[in-house]
Amino acid sequence: MSRPADGMEAQRRYGALLAWGTRLGLGLLVLGFVLYMTGLVAAQMPIEQLPEYWSQPAPELLRRTGMHPGWGWAALLPKSDMLTLAAIGLLAGCSIACLLAVIPVFARAKERVLASVCVLEVLVLVLAASGVLTGAH
Amino acid sequence: MGAETLSLASTAPWWAWPLALFVVCFFLGIIAVPAGVGGGVLFVPIVAGFFPFHLDFVRGAGLLVALSGALAAAPKLLDNGLANLRLALPLALVASASSIGGAMLGLALPANAVQVALGIAILGIVAVMVSVKNSEFPRVERPDRLSQALGMYGVFRDGATGREVSWQVHRTPLGLFLFVGIGVLAGLFGLGAGWANLPVLNLVMGVPLKVSAGTSGFILSLVDSSAAWIYLNQGAVLPIIAAPSVIGMMLGARIGARLLQVVRASLIRRLVIGLLLFAGARSLVKGLGIWA
């Protein structure tokens, strides 16, 4: 079997995009958390009431705060605690953009198997992110 | 929740717990790097055992701690070739799919059952850490057909010696099967699974140690992403727990990376093993209701 190209173009493209996504996500996480802690922007879950929630299971938190599972948190933006969750979504989602960016590189190099693996991985991540899968208590 | 924790939780001001969490994560970040473990494996048992937070939120935050560390390291690892996309992508695909199942299972099971299983898993991880001796350059006589079809081979430049090392892998079907289990554990317990990735890549599949370590970190970035979405969408990510944990751990890891050059890593590793033993035992007895 002939050896394919070393794949460094795909690696570098993936790495560069991931670095930006991570920086953006972590920056937004810090910003959202500062806004949340300082009260500069209103929050969905008042900070003083959190000790009542954090010892309860997740579904109970959703019930008490009137939030919905799935992407319900996104509807509550730009509340500061939801901004923090959006940052977390960005961190958990930035790999999708990276995978999409390397699919054409693998396709050009006629590496169909790797391109297909990338497509499948994107589908797995999109399925996880979609909010249709539930497993609550 | 234990009586003493309950009493402390009810008398302490609300900000004391996130502050304590930040401080604890900062120190965990410092010791995690020289000990060669991800933050998640330390974070989940320790925070679940000693903080008043529900296990759902601890596991959600644990995944994010592990994910943030993996995301921060991955670009450099990809750029210098220590993480290899060809090797990582097929393994990450099966592990990230199974981590979704693990996360759903973890959120469906009663917290006490997960706590007991977590204690057992952590004690198992300690056994793996103590007993497994990784191999710098494992011998792979003949690569298997699946690894060849997937293009799982390459060349990396060893920065320590300056020489180029070509590598190939064997036992790929077994490796894929083991990564299914790793994904389930990562999603179920919210642990980064570097402790398992590395020996499977190195000892089972025959990948050189440095490529195993780099690729393991990259795989975590995909596996923990898919599990993190399940926790996020089920309300199991609480910003007041997740944000100080991630920030504290990442700041601590920066100091840990510098500490790596001046302390004996074996000493820190023994400290971490002791911590994990204690936290694993604590999770077990807490889940069983012996020492709540």
- The C-alpha of A41 sits at a distance from chain B's nearest C-alpha, in angstroms, of 14
Contact B14 A51 (CB under 8 A): yes
Identify the DSSP state of A21: H
Q: Which of A39-48, A72-81, A95-104 has the highest mean pLDDT?
A: A95-104
The predicted pLDDT at position A2 comes to 40
Query: In chain B, what are the domain boundaries?
Result: 16-288
From the list B52, B92, B104, the residue facing A54 with the nearest CB is B52
The predicted pLDDT at position A1 comes to 39
Q: What phi and psi values does residue B155 have, to the nearest 5 degrees?
A: -135, 135
- Mean pLDDT on B234-262: 85
Interface of B with A in 33-52 (CB under 8 A): 52
Is the model's pLDDT at B266 over the cut of 60? Answer: yes
The predicted pLDDT at position B162 comes to 79
- Mean pLDDT on B105-114: 89
The predicted pLDDT at position B292 comes to 66
- Check if the beta carbon of residue B188 is closer than 8 Å to that of residue B106: yes
Of residues B38 and B56, the one with the higher pLDDT is B56
Is the model's pLDDT at B23 over the cut of 90? Answer: yes
**Residue B154, strand partner residues:** B167
Contact B228 A54 (CB under 8 A): no
pTM (two decimals): 0.89
Task: Flag whether residue A38 sits within 8 Å of chain B, measured between CB atoms.
Answer: no
The predicted pLDDT at position B118 comes to 86
The predicted pLDDT at position A3 comes to 45
Assembly ipTM: 0.91
- Mean pLDDT on B110-128: 87
Q: What is the pLDDT of residues B135-172, one digit of tens each?
A: 788 888 899 999 999 889 988 887 777 788 889 999 99
The predicted pLDDT at position B261 comes to 65
Residue B269 identity (one-letter amino acid): R
The predicted pLDDT at position B43 comes to 87
pLDDT confidence band for B9 (50 / 70 / 90) = low
Contact B71 A18 (CB under 8 A): yes
Q: What percent of chain B stands above pLDDT 90?
A: 34
Four-residue CA torsion sign, B64, B66, B72, B77: negative
pLDDT confidence band for B101 (50 / 70 / 90) = very high
Mean pLDDT, rounded, of chain B: 85
Q: What phi and psi values does residue B267 have, to the nearest 5 degrees?
A: -65, -45
Contact B239 A85 (CB under 8 A): yes
The predicted pLDDT at position A135 comes to 54
Residue A23 identity (one-letter amino acid): R
Of residues B145 and A72, the one with the higher pLDDT is B145
Task: Flag whether residue A55 sits within 8 Å of chain B, measured between CB atoms.
Answer: yes
| Residue-wise DSSP of A31-96 | HHHHHHHHTSS--SS-GGGHHHHTTS-HHHHHHHHT--SGGGGGGGTTSHHHHHHHHHHHHHHHHH
Q: What is the pLDDT of residues A8-45, one digit of tens each?
A: 888 999 999 999 999 999 999 999 999 998 889 888 88
3-class secondary-structure state, position A2: coil
Is the model's pLDDT at B177 over the cut of 80? Answer: yes
Rounded to whole angstroms, how far apart are CA atoms B244 and B18? 7
- Mean pLDDT on B212-237: 91
The predicted pLDDT at position B2 comes to 47
The predicted pLDDT at position B133 comes to 78
Q: Which of B109, B233, B241 to mutate to test the interface with A (most CBs of A within 10 A)?
A: B233
Identify the DSSP state of A19: H
- Mean pLDDT on A114-133: 94
Is the model's pLDDT at B1 over the cut of 50? Answer: no
